[in-house]
């Protein structure tokens, strides 16, 4: 009648999340939203699909090739399935919440879909959760976000993580101040990002010397800041480094154990960021846990935010084996069952008389059995 093996087949990059993973993902999302909420971030939930031109505006254009499109039979206009939630939250901040007082703190969690997976993230559907802090240019705003990432990861019991800080706009600023032409500036930026030391020597001597020094400066934050201080940078670039230094001082004061590195030339994946940005990694976990940084809303308002990827977080979160599945024999009164649930048990209630209660409990993968004279652990 039906080919069940085929029925189980899903398109590449899409998967059924089974127990206990599905529950774990939900729990991670709940924890994040609780931590974000406790820090004053208000949750918004944009729709999964909307008119494609709104999803592709501004920095969204970069995601065009990743977006599924569907025709809306109601409006006869094309709609897109979101590939990212940040831009939708930014849209909300500039439209329906334009009148709300700044700084505006918003949070979100939800699924995104992409036409193609990437090498590092082959999944075509995954959950994101994050925040946007809108309307402040203060370094304290960047610090708040980084400390919020830290608080969220600690709440998830992820203890060993690193924050890699970058200034995606640093090299473009230097080149502009040195009067370098745009093509050369672009190639210089790429060469530094690729850490191509040989290539970096091929530019105008002043630029080459700065780029080579920036390359060498990358590393643990305090060490990197010392190296950056030695570089003779043009004014605006120097200011960016000074702000970075202020941020690192602030963070070291607030959270002394926080592991920070600086890679001043990195910009891939931060194409629409306009200032301090960061990536979060966990020790021994494939893929980044999240990323964030400064950007501008469509109307020029300053903003900063970060997104955490729930699939990466699931690989980083410690697993706890629970033993709270309690078999409750057939015929047990509802009041009794509810009492056990209130105590924290997950009750599995018999639907028909058992020939052997303990065997039935074991068959249903329960850890404990409820008997009139008490709860018994299953060996």
Instruction: Give the residue, chosen from 56, 59, 64, 97, that forms a contact with a second copy under the rule CB under 8 A.
Output: 97
Looking at the Cβ atoms of 158 and 210, the one nearer to a second copy is 158
Instruction: Give the residue, chosen from 61, 62, 116, 216, that forms a contact with a second copy under the rule CB under 8 A.
Output: 116
Looking at the Cβ atoms of 26 and 209, the one nearer to a second copy is 26
Contacts (CB under 8 A) with a second copy, residues 259-278 = none
Contacts (CB under 8 A) with a second copy, residues 17-76 = 17-23, 25-26, 30, 33, 37-40, 42-51, 54, 57-58, 68-70, 72-75
Find the shortest distance in angstroms from Cβ 172 to a second copy.
21
Contacts (CB under 8 A) with a second copy, residues 289-328 = 298-299, 325
* Phi–psi pair at 129, nearest 5 degrees: -145, 140
Interface stretch with a second copy, choices 101-109, 172-180, 198-206, 282-290 (CB under 8 A): 101-109
349 binds a second copy (CB under 8 A): yes
| 119: enclosing H helix or E strand | none
* Phi–psi pair at 120, nearest 5 degrees: -75, -25
**Pair 303, 94: CB distance under 8 Å:** no
The residues, any chain, with a CB within 8 Å of residue 361's CB and separated by 6 or more, are 327, 348, 368, 369, 378
378 binds a second copy (CB under 8 A): no
Between the CA of residue 93 and those of 294, 309, 355, what are the distances in Å?
15, 22, 62
Instruction: Give the residue, chosen from 28, 63, 85, 92, that forms a contact with a second copy under the rule CB under 8 A.
Output: 92
Interface stretch with a second copy, choices 107-115, 158-166, 217-225, 226-234 (CB under 8 A): 107-115
Contacts (CB under 8 A) with a second copy, residues 195-254 = 254
The site that binds a second copy (CB under 8 A) totals a number of residues, namely 98
Over the Cα atoms of the chain, what is R_g?
26
Measured at the CA of 303, the angle between CA 252 and CA 156, to 5 degrees, comes to 50
Interface stretch with a second copy, choices 96-104, 169-177, 193-201, 234-242 (CB under 8 A): 96-104
Looking at the Cβ atoms of 97 and 213, the one nearer to a second copy is 97
Phi-psi region of 34 (alpha: psi -120 to 50; beta: other; left: phi over 0): alpha
Find the shortest distance in angstroms from Cβ 265 to a second copy.
28
Find the shortest distance in angstroms from Cβ 248 to a second copy.
15
Which residues are 326's β-sheet partners?
347, 368
Looking at the Cβ atoms of 37 and 182, the one nearer to a second copy is 37
| 246: enclosing H helix or E strand | helix 235-254
Looking at the Cβ atoms of 94 and 222, the one nearer to a second copy is 94
Looking at the Cβ atoms of 13 and 269, the one nearer to a second copy is 13
Instruction: Give the residue, chosen from 183, 334, 355, 379, that forms a contact with a second copy under the rule CB under 8 A.
Output: 334
Between the CA of residue 180 and those of 174, 191, 235, 240, what are the distances in Å?
9, 15, 15, 19
Phi-psi region of 179 (alpha: psi -120 to 50; beta: other; left: phi over 0): left
182 binds a second copy (CB under 8 A): no
Instruction: Give the residue, chosen from 147, 249, 252, 378, that forms a contact with a second copy under the rule CB under 8 A.
Output: 147
Interface stretch with a second copy, choices 15-23, 156-164, 169-177, 199-207 (CB under 8 A): 15-23
Question: Pseudo-torsion of CA 8, 351, 326, 31, nearest 10°?
Answer: 50
**Pair 109, 29: CB distance under 8 Å:** yes
Question: Quick one: which of 166, 170, 168, 165 has its CA closest to 234?
Answer: 170
Q: What is the DSSP letter of 101?
A: P
Find the shortest distance in angstroms from Cβ 259 to a second copy.
16
Residue 294 CA to residue 90 CA, distance in Å, equals 12
Looking at the Cβ atoms of 78 and 197, the one nearer to a second copy is 78
Instruction: Give the residue, chosen from 226, 330, 359, 371, that forms a contact with a second copy under the rule CB under 8 A.
Output: 330
Question: Quick one: which of 57, 51, 53 has its CA closest to 79?
Answer: 51
């Amino acid at each position: 009648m039906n080919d069940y093996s085929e029925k189980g087949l899903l398109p590449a990059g899409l998967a059924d999340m089974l127990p206990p993973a599905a529950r774990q993902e939900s729990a991670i999302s709940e924890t994040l939203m609780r931590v974000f909420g406790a820090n004053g971030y208000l949750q918004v939930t944009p729709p999964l699909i909307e008119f494609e031109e709104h999803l592709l505006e501004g920095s969204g254009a970069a995601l065009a090739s990743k977006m599924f499109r569907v025709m809306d039979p109601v409006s006869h206009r094309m709609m897109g399935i979101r590939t990212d939630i940040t831009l939708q939250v930014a849209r909300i901040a500039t439209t329906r919440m334009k009148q709300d007082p700044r700084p505006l703190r918003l949070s979100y969690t939800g699924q995104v879909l992409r036409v193609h997976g990437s090498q590092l993230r082959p999944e075509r559907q995954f959950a994101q959760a994050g925040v946007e802090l809108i309307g402040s240019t203060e370094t304290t705003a960047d610090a708040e976000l980084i400390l919020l990432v830290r608080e969220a990861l600690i709440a998830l019991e992820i203890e060993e993580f690193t924050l890699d800080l970058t200034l995606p706009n640093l090299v473009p600023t230097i080149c502009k101040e040195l009067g370098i032409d745009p093509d050369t500036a672009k190639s210089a930026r790429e060469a530094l990002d690729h850490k191509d030391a040989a290539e970096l020597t091929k530019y105008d001597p002043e630029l080459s010397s700065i780029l080579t020094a920036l390359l060498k400066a990358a590393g643990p934050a305090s060490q990197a800041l010392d190296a950056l201080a030695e570089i003779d940078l043009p004014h605006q670039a120097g200011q960016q480094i000074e702000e970075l230094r202020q941020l690192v001082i602030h963070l070291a004061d607030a959270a002394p154990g926080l592991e920070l590195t600086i890679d001043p030339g990195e910009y891939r994946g931060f194409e629409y960021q306009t200032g301090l940005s960061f990536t979060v990694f966990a020790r021994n976990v494939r893929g980044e846990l999240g990323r964030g940084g400064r950007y501008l809303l469509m109307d020029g308002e300053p903003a900063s935010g970060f997104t955490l990827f729930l699939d990466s977080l699931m690989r980083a979160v410690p697993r706890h084996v629970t033993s709270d599945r309690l078999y409750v024999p057939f015929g047990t009164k509802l009041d009794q069952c509810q009492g056990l649930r209130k105590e924290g048990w997950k009750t599995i209630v018999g639907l028909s008389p058992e020939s052997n209660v303990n065997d039935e409990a074991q068959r249903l993968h329960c850890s404990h059995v409820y008997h009139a004279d008490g709860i018994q652990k299953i060996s």
